[in-house]
Amino acid sequence: MENFTPLSALAGGALMGLGAVVLLGLTGRIAGISGIIAGLLPTGRGEVLWRLAFLVGLVGGAAIYRTLGGPLQAIQFSMSTFMIVLGGLLVGFGAGLGGGCTAGHGVCGVARVSKRSLSAVAVFILTAGLTVFLIRHALWGG
């Protein structure tokens, strides 16, 4: 567990939780990223400005961190472009069908103790873990 970073994980998670509380308390909205993005697509139902503002903030928050010289200055993609493109398609389709993503179900739904969200989290962590296991240890022999 040499890569385990408990303090930054707890601090970062708490900031995200705070962001979700701010959004619900002030605007009455759930901080589900896939839901916020879906509202901006051609099938979305209006209320464009606050959605755009949230996404600008999302990128801006990471930009502030980087500008202030946070420890993480580069990210690593170890997988092929094909896997990234396929992964994006499945993540988008799955979030659209299942009504939420890691933020919507994993943070906001769990915070509401929603049975739907708790089930979704259990299912997507399981299939994600199986996928990584197959890729890293079964198919290509680790």
Partner 1 sequence: MMARVAAALVSGLLFGLGLAVSQMVNPAKVLGFLDIAGPWDPSLALVLAAAAGVALIGYRAVLSRPKPALAPAFSLAQETGIDAKLVIGAALFGIGWGLAGLDPGPAFASLVFGQSESLFFLGTMGLGLHLARRMN
Among 51, 69, 139, 140, binds partner 1 (CB under 8 A): 51
The reply on whether position 69 binds partner 1 by CB under 8 A is no
Q: Which residues contact residue 109 at a Cβ distance below 8 angstroms, ignoring those fewer than 6 apart?
A: 100, 116, 117, 118, 120, 121
Quote the distance between the C-alpha of residue 103 and its chain's center: 5
Footprint of partner 1 on residues 10-49 (CB under 8 A)? Answer: 10-31, 33-34, 37-38, 41-44, 49
Q: Is 39 exposed, middle or buried (0-12, 13-18, 19+ CB in 10 A)?
A: middle
Q: How far apart are CA 95 and CA 123, in angstroms?
A: 12
Q: What's the number of CA atoms in the CB half-sphere (13 Å) around residue 105?
A: 21
Q: How far is the CB of 27 from partner 1 (least distance, A)?
A: 5
Q: Does 139 bind partner 1 (CB under 8 A)?
A: no
Q: Least separation, in Å, of the C-beta of 139 and partner 1? A: 12
Binding partner 1 (rule: CB under 8 A), the pick from 46, 69, 74, 140 is 74
Find the shortest distance in angstroms from Cβ 7 to partner 1.
9
